[in-house]
Amino acid sequence: MHRPYLVGAGLSFAFVAIASTSAMATPCTNLQSRSFEHTTITSATDITGGSFTPPGSTPITGLPAFCRVTATLTPTSDSQIQIEAWLPESNWNGRFLGTGGGGFQGVITYGELAQGIVAGFATTNSDLGTGSSGCNPLFCGSDGNKGNVLAIDFGDPANPSTGLFGHPERIKDFGYRAIHLMTVRGKEIADAYYAQRAKKSYFAGCSTGGQNALMEAQRFPHDYDGILAGAAAFNRTHLHMAGLGSWQNTHANASRFIQPGQMTLINKAVIAACVGQDGGAKTDQFLTDPRDCHFDPAVLQCTGGNVPPACLTADQVTTMRSYYAGTIDPVTKQVINPGSERGNETDNILALGLEFTENLPEPAFDGLFYWVYGAAFGIPTSPVNFTNFDFNRDVDTVDDQLAKVLNATSTDLSEFREHGGKLVMYHGWADPLIPSQSSINYFNALVQNGRAFAQPARFDSNDPALKDTQKYARLFMVPGMYHCSGGPGPNVFDALTPLVEWVEQGVAPDTIPATKFVNDTPSLGVAMTRPLCVYPKVAKYSGSGSTNIAANFTCVADEPDFNQTPAKQFGP
């Protein structure tokens, strides 16, 4: 899934009814007659009443007057990419903003568009072309929901689907082409509307939007001046294998399931054992750097008369050890994808973690494998299916077909850097969907690229290659944040404004202020503030004053920590 670039912030606007579109031609409605390559403008409408209601959803209110343009892009005969451009009519800040989405996308992410124009950007978003195959963020190929209530609630279609199977051009659209063409056409539409070019262009996205962000920096380095990449799903084929492995792990036998409430039990034990080991404060309900925590779930194994859910069975201990260990080739023992960090355990279904995937009839996000194997992947008697996918034998089959198109794993950002591009990455340390160390692995690989000779990808804050990399790319790890938002830590922050200041004023961000609201509800007040530190520094409590006030923390150098890294052929 995904969240806006103003991480964790929900839109809170006053309701105003939509005004009727004027019958007279306007600069906006005139766009409908404009011609762009491989593009059909399907509508161009002035929205002046302060509110917009997305299809099948509730109104987004408090919006400035804007020109809404919808278009279909057809770069190939099998492509059907939907985009929207929202263009502020009076509060345009002179900048262009491309935005991403989540999962398999398949829809326009209206919250991203709304936040963009409220901040004054000419903003665009895309369904990545997967909507033409009936995809939604969680499902793009499945054997149907099988009557599972959770699957139905999260939009799994009732009937089987093969997603993008047999559509290699749509796979390319999803992987990299749609987001690039959205950018090119979005800029052209904005240029035509304003009769001038934007002074600077930015991209912001989390999850799949983070993958889009890195793909833009790698393949189309001149599209954007500044790129914000959150919890990037950049190593996509192996990330989806991790989801498949997680489902197989909990379904290995009936006693391997983690019962409701037990993830919270485990999380409390993890925090009790490890909180305050590296920065942070002893009173935190989250870990500042979980890599210093080596909690073994075996300490919760049932003894005497204790029984689950108050403790773990031996099989449940095995489940959790595998959860932390990562996706491993059973023959070579090589790491295919890093494991989950300690401290991300949650019973919250919306966090899309283990509690979510183990209760589905087949793995979440396994649609990717339908693109390779077709309908057979959903049939348990097939040679390769979601129950028996072999992490030694079958990995290459998927990678051979999809990796070059979907995986944004190149660490050569030289062209992006040379034209003055700036990259800000962020990732929640308590992310239960995409392992948080994945973003560290990518950043470490950027640093490694800057070395004159090979060295281990572990460094301190004074490393010359690190300092050189930080001239164009910076990473911020977010203690206690789930996937793109939420979680027990300070999970609301504006990462886009520091990026703009870096690009336009040359001021590189060293810290980003973050906030935790009471019950994650701004109207209830602030629970705590905390600085997010430029990696590899961590926020350390000064020892005096409230631990809920950012001013009582400083960013300090952290010792080099071990970061689980995939084998070279699966990395970085």
Dihedral over alpha carbons 435, 465, 209, 572 (to 10 degrees)? -50
The CATH architecture assigned to 199-234+408-515+530-544 reads 3-Layer(aba) Sandwich (3.40)
SS3 519: helix
Dihedral over alpha carbons 259, 265, 271, 272 (to 10 degrees)? -150
Task: Give yes or no for a contact between 386 and 142, defined as CB atoms under 8 angstroms apart.
Answer: no
Residue range 526-538, pLDDT digits in tens: 999 999 999 999 9
Do you know the residue count of the chain? 572
Please tell me the predicted confidence (pLDDT) of residue 1: 40
Which residues belong to the active site? 207, 431, 483
Average of per-residue pLDDT values in the chain: 94
Nearest to 70 by CA among 31, 13, 115: 31
Please tell me the predicted confidence (pLDDT) of residue 357: 94
* Reported confidence tier of residue 461, pLDDT bands at 50, 70, 90: confident
Residues 6+ apart with CB under 8 A from 464: none
Residue that is written with structure tokens 């703009």 in the block: 500
Q: State phi, psi for 376 to the nearest 5 degrees.
A: -60, -25
- Give CA–CA dist 288/274, Å, rounded: 10
- Give CA–CA dist 51/11, Å, rounded: 12
State which H helix or E strand residue 468 sits in.
helix 464-469
- Give CA–CA dist 379/369, Å, rounded: 12
Instruction: Characterize the bridge pairing of strands 327-328 and 335-337.
Output: antiparallel
- Give CA–CA dist 530/539, Å, rounded: 8
User: What's the number of CA atoms in the CB half-sphere (13 Å) around residue 267?
Assistant: 25
Structure tokens at 438: 């994945």
Mean pLDDT of 276-300: 95
Please tell me the predicted confidence (pLDDT) of residue 451: 62
Structure tokens at 9: 């912030």
State which H helix or E strand residue 267 sits in.
helix 262-274
- Give CA–CA dist 111/116, Å, rounded: 8
Bridge partners (DSSP) listed for residue 554: 540
441 class by beta-carbon count within 10 Å (0-12 exposed, 13-18 middle, 19+ buried): buried
Instruction: Characterize the bridge pairing of strands 66-73 and 60-61.
Output: unpaired
Q: Give whole-number Cα distances, 282 to 56, 286, 288, 542, 548, in Å.
A: 45, 10, 10, 12, 12
* Reported confidence tier of residue 14, pLDDT bands at 50, 70, 90: very low
Please tell me the predicted confidence (pLDDT) of residue 457: 57
List every span in the chain annotated with CATH 3.40.50.
199-234+408-515+530-544
Residue range 75-133, pLDDT digits in tens: 999 999 999 999 999 999 999 999 999 999 999 999 999 999 999 999 999 999 999 99
Residue range 27-38, pLDDT digits in tens: 999 999 999 999
The percent of residues above 70 in pLDDT, for the chain, comes to: 94
Please tell me the predicted confidence (pLDDT) of residue 13: 30
> CA end-to-end span of the chain, whole Å?
22
Asked if residue 11 has pLDDT above 80, the reply is no
Please tell me the predicted confidence (pLDDT) of residue 24: 82
178-194 vs 208-219: helix crossing angle, rounded to 10:
80
Structure tokens at 465: 């290659």
Q: What are 402-406's contacts with CB under 8 Å, separation 24+?
A: 402/171, 402/236, 402/237, 402/368, 402/371, 402/372, 403/237, 405/171, 405/172, 405/175, 405/176, 406/171, 406/174, 406/175, 406/236, 406/237, 406/368
SS3 74: coil
The one-letter code for the residue type at 570 is F
The one-letter code for the residue type at 40 is T
- Give CA–CA dist 514/430, Å, rounded: 15
405 class by beta-carbon count within 10 Å (0-12 exposed, 13-18 middle, 19+ buried): middle
